[in-house]
Structure 1
């Protein structure tokens, strides 16, 4: 079974909290989740790809680690990611 989510959230990259729009799918059968995060923060994708540790924090405070999926370019505001561990929903 899959569930889709679209929510305001925050991505925490090496301790820096950045507001984002998170759109992702949770596949409970295959036990995986991932999607995209988008922010108006300049260079967001570059920071995500080059950071040491990143997590997705939902409005209710639930948090999960994420790993960038693909390269980030300076000035890009959208990035794909794969979730690590249990999803924050």
Structure 2
């Protein structure tokens, strides 16, 4: 008998700050919250590490290259609604 394992959805949210300003992107053609502003964000792919996901999302969403040593995880949020998620900031 195979056992279903619990899987927690994980996402990263990247706050890029320079001179007291935070980079925001306007969502477009995503099918989710289009027209609204957001920080760079996305889900982890498989067993991807948190900083690796942040680097990939910055490249995919904004064309920005970031070095791992320039990133710092500053917060974690566990959310429960219809499903459970964990978000890294």
TM-score exceeds 0.5: no
- Radius of gyration: which is bigger? 2
Superposition TM-score, scaled by structure 1 size: 0.31
